Amino acid sequence: MAKGLDVGTMNIICAEKGKSDSIVFAQQRNAFLKMEAGDLAQNMLDTSKILYTHQNDTINVLGEDAFKFANVFNKPIRRPMRQGIISPDEKESIPMIKLIIERVLNKAEKDGELLTISVPASPVDSNINVLYHSKTVEALSKKLGYKTTLIDEGLAVVYSELGDQNFTGVGISVGAGMTNITVAYLATPIVSFSIARGGDWIDEQVASATGVAIERVTSIKENDFTFNSEYEIGSIQGAIALYYDALITYIIEHLKRKLEEAAPPDAEFPVAIAGGSSRAKGFLEMFEKRITEANLSINISKVKKTQYASSGAKDPVYAIARGCLISSITRENAEKAESEEVNKTKNEENK
């Protein structure tokens, strides 16, 4: 069965077809928390079926439960990825990512099962090298028995959202570590790049400006912030609004610059926005206003934010995994058609 996998700085998400052609998502936070080992703690984790590793006197709690335990025990979580790629500063990054991928993806039912994984495009504002990250997540998935293809994260958004427009438009994923942008015409990228700023950049800048802990800033941003509200000068929400505005301006400036280097065709280009950092209420309206004012060299027809349901909740974070799944299903159908054609030819020759 074909699958799609989004390996993000904040979340790792797998998408596959469920019953009645619905899409089923499996998700884990891309994080872990170190705790002291003990018989009671291990029994509790085993009983609750919590994902963890145990080595010597240390337990590593992984995924969503790492955030829950961090709040209970007032300990900082650790992140295997930073700025969209495997963190070079975290020595346990790869073992932790491996375990989380295994949890959401599972082993292939048969060798050669098709999988598409989203990876960041090369950044235009940083010397970050995405090759090591891309090849590592590809290798991890192949060990689980998958035949893997990699696509840029922005293109995954195009596949997910712009099928009705013949896969023509702008796919933007505003993630935690990076923002990825792809301009595609008939499913073919014209421009594809990333910038090394996303939700984490907002949190870091606000924390630095206000002296409030990053974890607190993140919580306020995710639970108590909207673009349409009036906030007091000096408030955390006011600082979040300021840096969100700066991020949107930065994204559009780089998009405009990259489009000026290309020769896009005369067509309508809708914009689809996905990613966890686009969740904030009013983000879509603010982005649409700014991109309309930017006088880009392409005709922007509309701006839409993705909304897909998992466990009853709608969230634009699932669009990248969905786009990867669509890519895998397309490849699967093409391979089946090719195989059927080969068998038909052989049968005709044997007559």
DSSP SS3 for 325: helix
DSSP of 201-249, one letter per residue?
HHHHHHHHHH---HHHHHHHHHHS-BTTS---TT-HHHHHHHHHHHHHH
The whole-angstrom separation of Cα 296 and Cα 253 is 10
Distance CA 325, CA 25 (A): 10
pTM of the model: 0.90
First to last CA, the chain: 34
Domains and CATH numbers, the chain: 3-30+79-197+254-350 (3.30.420.40)
H/E run at residue 151: strand 146-152
From the number of C-beta atoms within 10 Å of its C-beta (0-12, 13-18, 19+), residue 15 rates as: buried
Q: Which of 204, 227, 226 is nearest to 216 (CA)?
A: 204
Q: Dump the DSSP string for 176-190.
A: SS-EEEEEEETTEEE
Query: CA geometry: angle at 102 spanning 76 and 24, to 5°?
Result: 100
Token pair for 27 = 């998700």
Is the C-alpha dihedral spanning 176, 272, 116, 65 positive or negative? positive
Hunting for tokens 């090849």 — which residue is that?
A: 135
What does the pLDDT read at residue 310? 61
* Residue in 338, 23, 343, 326 with CA at minimum distance from that of residue 157: 326
Gap between the Cα atoms of 336 and 272, Å rounded: 30
- Chain segment 64-120, per-residue pLDDT in tens: 888 888 777 777 888 899 989 999 888 889 999 999 999 999 999 988 899 999 999
Cα–Cα dist 263/261, whole Å? 7
Per-residue pLDDT of the chain (351 residues; tens, 9 = 90+): 899 999 999 999 999 998 777 899 999 999 998 888 776 667 778 777 888 888 778 888 888 888 888 777 777 888 899 989 999 888 889 999 999 999 999 999 988 899 999 999 999 999 999 999 999 999 999 999 999 999 999 999 999 999 999 999 999 999 999 999 999 999 999 999 999 999 999 999 999 999 998 888 988 998 899 998 889 889 999 999 999 999 999 999 999 999 999 989 999 999 999 998 998 889 999 999 999 999 999 999 999 877 666 655 568 899 999 999 999 999 999 988 887 777 777 777 776
Query: What six digits make up the tokens of 70?
Result: 């961090």
Scored b (16 or more CB within 10 A) or e, 237-253 reads: bbbbbebbeebbeebbe
SS3 71: helix
Q: How many helices (H) and strands (E) does the chain have?
A: 10, 17
